[in-house]
Amino acid sequence: MRFYLSRITISGFFLIIVFCLAVKYAEGQTTVARIDSLKKELLKAGEDSNKVEILRQLGNEVGYIDPGQALEYAQEGYNLSNKINYEFGIGTMAYILGFLNQDLNNYSLSDSFLILAEEKFRELDLPGQLAKVEHARGVQAYKQGNYWAAADFFAKNVKIFEDIKDSSSATIAYQSLIAVLGQVKNHEKAIELSKKALLLAKQTNDTVSINYLLQLLVTNLVYAERMDEASDYITRLREIAETVTDQFLAGDLYSTIGTYFYRDKDFPQAVVFYEKALEKSILINDKYQQANHYSALGQAYLEMGRPDDCRDHLFASLQLAREYQNKRGEYNVSLSLSNYYKSIKDFHKAYEYLSWHQEMTNSIMKEETRNYTAYLEASFEASKKENEILRLEKVQQEKEYQLKRSTLLLFVGAGLIAALLAILYLLRRNHRNKEKIAAERSALLEEKVKNVEKEQQIVSLQSMINGQETERTRIAKELHDGLGSVFSTVKMHYSTLQQETPEIKGNPLYRKTLDLIDKASDELRTVAHNMMPEVLMKVGLVDALQDFCNNINSGKLLTIRLQTYGMDKRLNSSTEIMLYRIVQELIHNILKHAEATEALIQINRQENRLSLIIDDNGRGFDTREAAEKRTMGMSTVKSRVDYLNGRLTIDSRKDIGTTIMIDLLIHE
């Protein structure tokens, strides 16, 4: 059920973007007549920027009727702009080509055009246009399920639009940001932003945005379980749904109201509104939402104790979801079906659907984690690059300022010459900077390709490491069960012998043999323990690490403290083993190389975020130099971190110490 509503936000969300940007570009005229008059104008136009403008409008207008044909207009406009060297035209047409390709699901082509448009607008210094391009890139990320990246793009949009005081565009960017926040389940923040954006939309009297924002607000309120607050809006949503001409919005509104009642456990009311939502989605032939609404109805009927109605609706949903490759829909309905079969006590079927659901959970989660890691890395790289760009711009500004001042002090003639020189100098400088920035951008792209390659490596590595740990567990168990049992039984019999034949006690060989048996079983125990500590399997990571620290501490070479926060629940066993091995290897590295006297192991877990920090007061090292020296110890750590889809940061300073930080997302 959790994912169901977020799907609703998506459809509402796509609608907003496509719809609102269209209105902006076509200035509110979206009629066939308009297209016809544009076509006539096109015939009369010469090969100039005027024609580009006509082609731009055509690309926009036709895009909502026939994206394929629109693509042709846009391509023509793009070629013409290049021919007549019309910079603004190149940027705008690239932008239109970008989002048209997005509509046609050509993501890689769309990406290239959007990047091109981004560069052009940056060169021309048009923040408003730039933000629109960024917005389209956000939508792209969103469509591909990369919500974190999308959130990042949208947040930047909001800021740019606010800076240039374009409040109607800011309202749109807010809506996108809110939708994506809902998707990553940050409902509180989404509520906060919805309220802020509502104020903004009210100022400009933008009814369309107000209606969408209300839908987003209530959806998030329901999900944040702020039912009282949500109930204040329900009547209003209903009024809007009944009067609004936009059938997409009406459907989404009914669905939101239905979910409100479902969550409020008023199932008969929920059914009434889900039925209305379904009716709307059939009217506009939206198969995607139909699947979702059928599934919601099925769930509501199950709660009402009407299993037959439940089954019919769930299967209708399943069929639609499969037919239209609605993966999330399938994911939701499989769980509901399992619940249905449980309720009619067909446990075999219930189990089947549940395991299918589980399988899909894994694949969806894996995808999300990959996206998140890629985003972390990309944003980390981007922030480095951005700092560098900012620095370059600042240097340039300073130079500019100094030059301006010196020209003031010179005679008019000399001043003119100086100004001319300065302009020439700046132009050259500017050009060089741009080249530099472009080179950095292509490096970023290269990095993206590398990321993809790395992911493939990770998959094969994961199975290798998994196999290794399974093998270790098996060997440890066999040592205990086989050899271990033999040794202890020998000792049991042998020590009974002295009871039966007391004179044997006097024989020194007897004592010596007994000691040797002890030694053998101790050694066996140590080997098995190093293979796989029992406490790690049976009790958990924290106790295992405490044991590990105690063992090191009793050696007196290094004192380790262990601090854990939010670790009351156990993690899944392969994650625990991996984290344990990472700590083990890092501490052994410290013992071997760092000459440290103290170390600190800290684990923080908050919801699904986990960070592991290991910190020592050793001699530290230069991270660049050490890249080669310490690779031996670090490479296994690195591959284990990769296994967990985590991020490893090494932060070391000479003679101060080293901090190693590993962050990852936990899935249960």
Partner 1 sequence: MIKILIIDDHPLVIDGIQTMLKDEGCFHIEAAVKTGADALDFVTNHPPADIILLDINLPDTDGLRLCETIRAINKTVKIIALTHINEAGIITQMIKKGANGYLLKSMEREELIEAIHKVTEGSIYLSKAANEKVIQQLQHLDLPTGQVPVLTLREKEILQLLYEGLTSQEIAGRLFLSNYTVDTHRKNMLQKFNVHNTQSLLNAVRKLGVID
Nearer to partner 1, 50 or 563 (CB): 563
Nearer to partner 1, 327 or 472 (CB): 472
Beta strand 609-616 with 647-653 is: unpaired
Q: Which two tokens stand for residue 653?
A: 């300073």
389 binds partner 1 (CB under 8 A): no
Assign 3-state DSSP to the chain and report helix, strand, coil percentages, each to 5.
80, 5, 15
For the chain, how many residues are written? Answer: 668
Nearer to partner 1, 398 or 543 (CB): 543
561 binds partner 1 (CB under 8 A): yes
Of the candidate residues 518, 523, 622, 625, the single one contacting partner 1 (CB under 8 A): 518
CB 95 within 8 A of CB 132: yes
Distance of alpha carbon 354 from alpha carbon 646, whole angstroms? 29
CB 335 within 8 A of CB 364: no
CB 189 within 8 A of CB 181: yes
Nearer to partner 1, 205 or 499 (CB): 499
Q: Which two tokens stand for residue 494?
A: 């042998």
Of the candidate residues 18, 419, 426, 613, the single one contacting partner 1 (CB under 8 A): 613
Segment interacting with partner 1 (CB under 8 A) among 65-73, 194-202, 426-434, 541-549: 541-549
Segment interacting with partner 1 (CB under 8 A) among 132-140, 335-343, 346-354, 518-526: 518-526
- Minimum CB–partner distance for residue 515 and partner 1 (Å): 11
246 binds partner 1 (CB under 8 A): no
Of the candidate residues 201, 335, 528, 664, the single one contacting partner 1 (CB under 8 A): 528
496 binds partner 1 (CB under 8 A): yes
- Minimum CB–partner distance for residue 390 and partner 1 (Å): 10
Neighbours of 604 (CB within 10 A): 15
Nearer to partner 1, 153 or 260 (CB): 153
Of 85, 636, 539, 146, give the one whose Cα is nearest residue 369. 146
499 binds partner 1 (CB under 8 A): yes
576 binds partner 1 (CB under 8 A): no
* DSSP codes joined into one string, 264-295: TT-HHHHHHHHHHHHHHHHHTT-HHHHHHHHH
CB 115 within 8 A of CB 85: no
Rg (CA), the chain: 33
Distance of alpha carbon 94 from alpha carbon 213, whole angstroms? 30
611 binds partner 1 (CB under 8 A): yes
Distance of alpha carbon 142 from alpha carbon 155, whole angstroms? 13
Distance of alpha carbon 202 from alpha carbon 23, whole angstroms? 18
621 binds partner 1 (CB under 8 A): no
Site for partner 1 in 451-480 (CB under 8 A): 477, 480
566 binds partner 1 (CB under 8 A): yes
Site for partner 1 in 629-668 (CB under 8 A): 649, 651, 656-657, 659, 661, 663
At which residue do the structure tokens 């996108």 appear?
176
Residues binding partner 1 (CB under 8 A): 376, 379-380, 383-384, 387, 477, 480-481, 484-489, 491-493, 495-496, 498-500, 514, 517-518, 521-522, 525, 528-529, 533-535, 538-539, 543-544, 546-547, 549-550, 553-554, 561-563, 565-566, 600, 602, 604, 606, 609, 611, 613, 615, 617, 649, 651, 656-657, 659, 661, 663
